[in-house]
Structure 1
Amino acid sequence: MHRVFRRINHTSQKIANYNPENTVKYCTGTEETDGQWSTVQQPIRTHDTMVYSPTANQDARHNGLQSNSQSGRTTQHTFIKTYKIAPKNQQNRSAGTSVTFNRNGDAPGRYDLFQYQWNNITGHGYRMIGQWTESLQLNIEEMQWPRGESDIPISVCSLPCKVYERKKVVKGMPCCWHCEACDGYQYKTDQFNCKLCPYDMRPSTNRSSCQPIPIVKLEWHSPWAVIPVFLAMLGIIATIGVMATFIKYNDTPIVRASGRELSYVLLTGIFFCYIITFLMIAKPDVGVCSFRRIFLGLGMCISYAALLTKTNRIYRIFEQGKKSVTAPKLISPTSQLAITSSLISVQLLGVLIWFGVDPPNSIIDYEEQRTINPDLARGVLKCDITDLQIICSLGYSILLMVTCTVYAIKTRGVPENFNEAKPIGFTMYTTCIVWLAFIPIFFGTAQSAEKLYIQTTTLTISMNLSASVALGMLYMPKVYVIIFHPELNVQKRKLICLLTYSLLIPPPSEILQNPYLKICLIPGDPKHVYS
C-alpha cells in the first residue's frame, strides 16, 4: 500500500497532461499470456486493487481537507499523512465491486487456487479447486492425488512425535526434526532431550517421569521355596524322632556301640542343616543375615567333623592293630569330643572374623535383575553376602567332607566288628556326588535374572539331601532294629549263662531265634550254656 500511494502521489501531478490518444490498448480481462519458462498457458484474472487505488487516494485527501477546513487550518498533505487518513472501511464502486482495507491500510488478498491434474479428455492442465478471500474455500472433491487416493496426503516437514519420543532437529532445518525414542532406562525431560533415570528407578510407561523399581524377595509360597521347605520339615521331624529314640534307648547295646557322644553331635549337625533352609528363605534383615552367616556352614561342619573323627578313630585302631596290641591314643569318648570341638571351632573362628571385617546387613541389589526391558527390572532384597563368601563359608565343611571320604575309602576293608565303617563310606560317596552337582549349578546361574531363586533353592536342597543321606544311612537301620526288632538289640558274643537243672530243659526260644547268639555247651558242665 505504501508503494501504491507513492506512485499515486508521483503520477497525480501528471494527470493534467494525460492524453487518451497516447493509449495503445485497453485490457479486457480475457487476455492470455504465454509463460516464458512454462509449457502451460494460464489465464490471469485482473485485480481491481490498482484500479481503485487512485480513488482511495483521492478519498483520503478529501477527508483530510474536510477535517482541516472544519478546524480552520491548512495542511500540506504528504505521503505519510495521506496514508494515515486513507479509508479503513469498504468502498463501493460503480462497477458493483468493493475495495476494503484492513487496519494497516492494506487491501486483502484474493487468490484462485489451481491444481495440475490429468484429464482423459483434455490431458494435463490446471484445474481450479478453490479460492482465498479472507479465508480458504477448498473443494476437496475436485482434487486429485497419486495412486488414486482420496484422502489428502500429509505434507509437513515433520510429524508430531509420540509422548515417549524426543525431537532431534535436522541440521540446517530448524523447523524440521526426526522423532527418536527415549530407550532403555531414559525418560523424556522435554521435547528435545532424554535423561537416564536414577539407579534405583525406571521410566514410567509413557517415559514422562521415573518411578521406583519394584522390590522382590524369595517368598514362602514361591515354587522355588516350597520344595526345600517341604524337605526340611520332613528332615526335622525325622531327626527329632531319631534323637528321641536314641535318648529313650540310650543304654542299649546298639546306641552304645554307635558312640553315643558323637552320634548326638552328628544329629545336631544334621538338624542345623535342615534349619538353614528356613533362614535362607526368611525376609532378610540384620538378625536373619547374622544367623545365615552362622548356620550356613555350621551344620555341615558339625556333621562332617563328627564323621571325620569317627573314621579317623577306626582307621587308627585298625592300623595300630597291625603293628601291636597296644591301643592308639585319643580314642576315648572324651578325646573324640575334644577333637570334634577343635574342628568345629575353626569354622566358628572364621565366622567371627567375617563378622568383624564385614558386619551383616541387608541390601537391595538393583543389578541382579536389571534387564534390558525396564518393565521387567526388579530390585532384589537380600543379605549382603556374595557368592565367593558363600563358597568360603562352605569351603571348610567341604574340606572336612573330602577328608572324611578319604578315610572312608581307607577303612572299607576293616573287620565287621567296626560296623559303622561301610555305612559311613556309602554316606560320603553319595554326599560327594550331591555337592559335585551343586557347584556347576550354583556358579552356572550367576548371570541369570533368576539367580536369587535358583541359587537359594540349589543350596538348600543340596544341604537337605546331604543331611538326609547321613540320617538315612547311619541312623535309620539302627532305629528300625531298636523299635521293630528289640531282640536283636544285644551285644555280639555276649556271655549268657543259663542255669538249668537238667539237659531236658530247652533253652529259651528268644535265644535260639537270635542270629547274633551262638549257643554252645561247655563240656562237663551241662547246666551252663555259653555264647
Structure 2
Amino acid sequence: MGVWIWKESLATKMVLIAVLILVLLCQSVSSAHSINCTIYDDPLPIFHEFYQPGDLVIGEIVSHIFLLHDSPSFRELPTEKLIDERFSVPKHYQNILALVFAVKEINENPSILPNITLGFHVLSGYYLAKITYKATLSLLSTHNKFIPNFRCDTQKKLIAVIGSRLTEIYASMATTLTNYKIPQFTYESFTPAHGDKILFPSMYEMVPSEVFQYMGVIQLLHHFNWTWIGLLAVDDDNGDKFLQTAMPLLSRNRICYDFILRTPKRTDTDDLIDQLLNLMEKYPVLVNSKANACFIYGLSTSMYTLRMLLGIAQESSLPPLSKVWIITSQWVFESVSLQRVWDTQIFHGAISFTVHSSQPPGFQNFLQLIKPSWAKGDGFIQDFWEQAFDCSFKHSDEREESKKPCTGEEQLESLPGTLFEMSMTGQSYNVYNAAHAVAHVLHALYTLHFKSRAPVQQREWRLQNLEPWQLHHFLRSIPFNNSAGDTVSFDEHGELRAGFDVTNWVTFSNNSFARVKVGRLDPQAPPRDTLILHEDQIVWHRSFNQVVPHSLCNDPCHPGYRKEKKEGEKFCCYNCAPCPEGMISDHKDMDACIKCSKDRYPNKGQNECFPRTLSFLSFKEDLGIIFTVMALSFSVSTSLVLATFMKHQDTPIVKANNRNLSYLLLISLLFCFLCSLLFIGQPGKLTCLLRQTAFGIIFSVALSSVLAKTITVVLAFMATKPGSRARKWLGKRMANSLVLSCTSVQSSFCTLWLSTSPPSPHADTNSLNGIIILECNEGSAVMFYIVLGYMGFLAIVSFTVAFLARKLPDSFNEAKFITFSMLVFCSVWLCFVPTYLSTKGKYMVAVEIFSILASSAGLLVCIFSPKCYIIVLRPKLNVREHIIKRNN
C-alpha cells in the first residue's frame, strides 16, 4: 500500500471537496436533473404519519401500538432545516412495513385477540429532539388537540411504543413515557449514554446488550490474531461512551488501536461539508496504517458520511483502502438517495454482528403487493417511492419537474439492496417481534380476565380499561413463538434473550449485496462456545486474494523467538528476540519463552520439545551384556578356585599363610564380582542404597584379608629368629582381629552415610541434551569419597607391607604376589577417579563397574593363579618334602 500525503492548502482543499461533492451528487441523477437545496417557508405539519385504526368488537376505535419512525419525509421538513431530499433513506421504510405485516398477521390469526382488530400509529421524528418530544406529548393528549397530560376522550389510549435506539433525540421521549410506565421497545441497541438503564424501567430491548457485541468483537479479533486495529466512532455522546468502554476492554485483551477517527453525526449539508473537510485530512491515516481491521461504531446514519468520504477519495484518484470493516449491529448496509450509484466494493468482505433475524412466511409476498396507493393512511409511501425509484409524482413544485414520473407499477425487487431489501432485516424483525409481544400480552390479559370473571361481567371488559403498567409483568414472564419459528422472551431486565448472527457482506458491481451467515454469537452459551465462526465461508476483500489478512503492528515472532518490548511504543509493537538456551517458544508471538518439562528437551530451532530418551546401563545393551558376562565369568572362576582350595585344603600350599584368610578373600572376591551387577539396570531405591555401601564393605573385607596375609608373612619370618617375641602374634586370632577391625571402620562409614544422606534414584535432565540420565544420586559426595579413600588407604598399606616383604626367604612367599596385585589395584583406582569425574550417565557407571571387575580380577589372578597352577598342574611340587628340600 503506497503512502499518500495531503499537501494542498486549506483553500484548495475546500474547493476540491466542494467540487467533488457536486460531482458525486450529479452522478446520482441524470444530466437533465437539477440539484436544489431549498428552504421551505410554508406552514408544515408537526409530523409525518401513518395511521390505521383498529376496530373493537363493540365498535369503538383504539390505537394500541405507536411506532416512532426515524427516517423523515423530507418533503415536509421543519422550516429551520436545510437538507436536500436526496439525503433520505428509503430502506427504513421496511420497518413500517414490518409493523403493518405483523398487525395484519395478528388480526388474521383467530387464536390471538379474537373478535378484536388491532391498530397502529406511525410517526416520524425527523432526527430532531424537539420534534420527537412534541410527537410524544401529542400521544399523551386528546386526539387532534395538543394539550399535554390532558385527555377528555377514551377512544384512543397509548399502550406501547416502538422506537429507535436511545440517543439524545429519543432520550426525552423515553424519560416522558417512563413517567407513565408505558412499555417502550427499542428495535436498535440500547446505549445508556444519557443515563443508567435503571432510569428507564419500562424499556424493553429487542437487541441484546452492546456489551455482548464488544466481547464478540474481542473474540473475533483473537480468532484471527488481529492485535493492531483502527477505531471509527460517531462523533456524539454514544461514540464517546463506546470509546470509554471499548478502549480499556481492548487493552485488557492485549489488543491495541492505531488510530481513532470520529465520523460526523447526522447534520445538515453545510456542517457535513465542514466535517468531511476535517475528515479528509485524516484520510492518510487510514491509507498508511498497518491496521487492516477497523472496528466501526455508530448509527446507520454514520455510514452515509463514511461512504461519502470513501467516495470522494475514490473519485479523487487517492490511494484505495483495503480494510476489513468490523461493524456492530446498529449499522445497516444502506444508502441515502444520492448514493444509489456509488460503488459499494469498498465494503466487500465486511463482517458485522447483525441482529438475529428469520423470515416470517408470506412477508416477501406481502412486499410484492405494495403499491403507492395501497393504503390511504400511509403518509410515507409516496416519499419512499420517489426516493427509491428516483421518480416523481405530479406536484406543483418545480424541482420535481426534472424527474421522470412515477407510474406506481415499479417493482420493489428491482431495487439494489442498499436502498431496499426483500428479505426482512434485523431491525424490521425486531419491530415485527415487538408488535407480536404486545399482542400476546394483550391476549394473555384478555384471557385472564375472561377466566376470572363471571359471564355477566365478561362483556363489561374493554381494552380501553387497561393501564400500561399492567403489561410489564406479562412481558417479562410470557415467552411466545412467532410465525418464523423463533422463541421470543425477555429476561428480568427487559433484555431480549437472543444472540447475534455473524454476517459476511458480499458486494457486487451492480450495488447489490448478499448476506452470508458465517457464525453465531450466543451470550447464553458456555464461554468457549459463545462465538462460533465458520472461517472457510468468509469472503475477504478482493485485495487480500482470499487469504486471511494480517492486522498487526509488526510481523509476528515465529516459534523459537519471544516478544521484546519497544521502548516508547504500545505493547502490540515489539521486536523478536531468540529464546535463551534451553528454552523454547512453540507458538507465534509468545511473550516469554518456556522450559520443556523434565521428560522433554528443546530442539535445535528452540520451537518444539522432543521426548527425552532414558539413559542407564541396561542389561540388554552391548556394554551391559559384556559387563554381565565378565562379572559372571569371574564369579565362576572364583568359585572354581575356592572349590579347588577346599578340595586340597590339607596340602602345604593351601595351608601356607593362613588357609582361612584365603577362603575369606576368595569369598569376598566372589561377592565383589557379583556386586558389580547392582550397577547394571535401571536404578531403584534398593539398588541405590546397596550399590556403593555393599561395594565398599565387601572390598574392605578383601583388602583387610590381603593386609592380614601380608602381615602374617612378615610375622612368620620374624618368628623364625631365635628369641623373637613375634611368635606370640602368630595365629588365627591376630588375622581375624585385623580383618574385623578394618571392616568395622568401613561399616561405620557406610552406616553414617545411610543414616545422614543416603543415595537415591535421580533423573538428570541437565547434563546431556535430549537425554534423561537415570542414576543414583550419591546423597553425600563427601561420604562417597571417604569410603573410596578408606579402601585406597587399605590398599596402600597392603602394598607397602607387601613390597617390603617381597624378598623374604620362603618357598611360597605370597608377599611378592600381593605386591603385584596391590600394584594393579592401586593403578586401577587411581585411574578411576579422574575418569569417573569426566564422564556422564551410564558411562560413569561403566567406569566404576570396570574398576571393580579389573581390581578384583587383579587380586584373583595375581594371588591365586600361581597356587592354582601348582595345585592343578604341578601337584608334585605341592608336597612337604619338596618344600623342605627347597628350604635347605
TM-score range normalised by the length of the shorter chain: 0.5 to 0.7
Partner of 1:182: 579
Query: Which residue in 2 is equivalent to 1:430?
Result: 824
- Distance, in Å, in 2 between the alignment partners of 1:278 and 1:308 is 26
1:255 and 1:88 map into 2 onto residues whose CA distance is 123
Structure 2 residue 595 is matched with structure 1 residue 197: yes
Partner of 2:304: 105
Deviations 1:207-266 (A, max 9, x none): 789788654322223444344333212211110111111122222222122421000111
Whether 1:486 and 2:487 are equivalent positions in the alignment is no
How far is 1:181 from its partner? 3.2
3-state SS of 1:104 partner = helix
Q: How does 1:150-161 map to 2 (within 5 A)?
A: 158-161=554-557
Q: Is the 8 A contact 1:111 1:133 kept in 2?
A: no
Q: For residue 328 of structure 1, give the secondary structure of its aligned residue in structure 2.
A: helix
- The answer on 1:336 being equivalent to 2:741 is no
What's the secondary structure of 1:408's corresponding residue? Answer: helix
Q: Residue 229 of structure 1 contacts residue 278 of structure 1 at CA under 8 Å; is this kept in 2?
A: yes
Describe the shift of the 1:180–1:133 C-alpha distance in structure 2 as closer, same or farther (beyond 3 A).
farther
Q: Distance in 1 between matches of 2:608 and 2:713?
A: 70
Matched, 1:162 2:558: yes
Q: Distance in 2 between matches of 1:88 and 1:301?
A: 105
- Specify the SS of the correspondent of 2:727: coil
| Structure ID, larger Rg | 1
Distance of aligned partners of 1:459 and 1:207 in 2 relative to their CA distance in 1, 3 Å threshold: closer
Alignment-derived partner of residue 86 in structure 1: 87
8 Å CA contact 1:282, 1:288 repeated in 2: no
- Note the residue ranges of structure 2 that are not aligned, 5 or more in a row: 1-6, 10-15, 27-33, 52-74, 92-299, 320-341, 347-549
1:468 aligns to what?
Answer: 857
Residues 134-180 of structure 1, C-alpha deviations (whole Å, 9 max, x = no match): 447xxxxxxxxxxxxxxxxx999622322343333433443543223
Contact 1:56 1:86 in 2 (8 A): no
Say if 2:755 is the partner of 1:356.
yes
TM-score, normalising length: structure 2: 0.40
Query: Counterparts in 2 of 1:148-297, with a 5 A limit?
Result: 158-174=554-570, 176-188=573-585, 191-197=589-595, 200=598, 202=600, 215-297=614-696
CA deviation profile, 1:321-364 (whole Å, cap 9, x unmatched) = 45735553221124312321221121112212222222443233
2:49 & 2:756 partners in 1: Cα distance?
106
C-alpha deviations, 1:453-479, integer Å up to 9, x for none? 232111111121111111112112222
Question: 1 CA distance for matches of 2:653 and 2:619?
Answer: 40
For 1:78, give the aligned amino acid: E
Aligned equivalent of 1:76, options 69, 75, 78: 78
**Most deviating of 486-495 and 426-435:** 486-495
Give the conservation status (yes or no) of the 8 Å contact 2:764–2:773.
yes
Asked whether 1:378 is paired with 2:772, we answer: yes
Aligned AA (1:193): D
C-alpha spacing 1:360/1:194, structure 2 compared with 1 (3 Å): same
Q: Distance in 2 between matches of 1:337 and 1:391?
A: 27
Is 394-403 or 308-317 further displaced after alignment? 308-317
1:448-527 map, 5 Å: 450-493=839-882
Letter in 2 for 1:390: F
1:104, distance to aligned residue in structure 2 (A): 3.5
Contact 1:261 1:337 (8 Å CA) reproduced: no
Deviation at 1:308, TM superposition (A): 0.7
The aligned residue for residue 792 of structure 2 is 398
1:50 is matched with: 22
CA 481–222 in structure 1, closer or farther in 2 if over 3 Å, else same: same
- Which residue identity does 1:358 align to in structure 2? S
**For residue 784 of structure 2, what is the amino acid of its counterpart?**
I
Contact 1:279–1:288 (CA under 8 A) maintained in structure 2: yes
Distance 1:253 1:182, change over 3 A: same
Any conservation in 2 of the 1:284–1:383 contact (CA below 8 Å)?
Answer: no
Question: Equivalents in 1 of 2:49, 2:648: separation in Å?
Answer: 139
- Cα distance in 2, alignment partners of residues 242 and 255 from structure 1: 11
* Corresponding residue number in structure 1 for 2:165: none
Change (3 A) 1:490 1:418: closer
Do the aligned partners of residues 261 and 71 (structure 1) sit closer, same or farther apart at CA in structure 2, a change above 3 Å counting?
closer
CA distance in 1, matches of 2:719, 2:686: 49
Work out whether residues 703 and 791 of structure 2, in 8 Å CA contact, stay in contact via their aligned partners in 1.
Answer: yes
Kept in 2, the 8 Å contact 1:224–1:454? The answer is no
Unaligned runs of 5+ in 1: 1-34, 38-43, 91-100, 116-131, 137-153, 496-515, 519-530
Shift of 1:186: 3.5
Please give the alpha-carbon distance, in whole angstroms, between the structure 1 residues aligned to 2:812 and 2:744.
28
Task: Call closer, same or farther: CA 1:344–1:69 in 2, change over 3 Å.
Answer: closer
Name 1:13's counterpart in structure 2.
Answer: none
Work out whether residues 320 and 328 of structure 1, in 8 Å CA contact, stay in contact via their aligned partners in 2: yes
TM-score, L = length of structure 1 = 0.64
Contact 2:600 2:610 in 1 (8 A): yes
Contact in 2 for aligned 1:167/1:191 (Cα 8 Å): yes
Q: Deviations over 1:283-328 (max 9, x none)?
A: 2222212221331212221111011111112223334545735553
Q: 1:78/1:162 Cα in 2 relative to 1: closer, same or farther (>3 Å)?
A: farther
Q: Give the AA of the match of 1:260.
A: R
Q: Is the 8 A contact 1:186 1:197 kept in 2?
A: yes
Q: Is the 8 Å Cα contact of residues 89 and 102 (structure 1) preserved in structure 2? A: no
Q: Secondary structure at the match of 1:451?
A: coil
Asked whether the equivalents of residues 304 and 404 of structure 1 are also in contact (C-alpha less than 8 Å), the reply is: yes
- Higher mean displacement: 419-428 or 171-180: 171-180
Matches within 5 A, 1:283-322: 283-321=682-720
Would the alpha carbon gap of residues 171 and 59 (structure 1) be closer, same or farther in structure 2, given more than 3 Å must change?
farther
CA distance in 1, matches of 2:704, 2:48: 128
Closer/same/farther in 2, CA of residues 159 and 112 from structure 1, 3 Å limit: farther
SS of residue paired to 2:860: helix
Residues 403/199 of structure 1: CA separation in 2 closer, same or farther (3 Å cut) = farther
Over the residues paired in the alignment, what is the CA RMSD in angstroms? 4.3
Cα shift at 1:83: 7.1
- Taking only the aligned residue pairs, the percentage that are identical comes to 24
Count of aligned pairs: 405
Query: Does the aligned pair in 2 maintain the 1:297–1:394 contact within 8 Å?
Result: yes
What is the alpha-carbon distance in structure 1 between the residues aligned to residue 563 and residue 699 of structure 2?
61
Given that 2:764 and 2:774 are in contact with CA atoms closer than 8 Å, whether structure 1 keeps it comes out as yes
Which stretch of the first structure deviates more once superposed, 315-324 or 453-462?
Answer: 315-324
2:834 is matched with: 440
Provide the secondary structure at the position in 1 that maps to 2:734.
Answer: helix
Q: What amino acid is the match of 2:564?
A: K
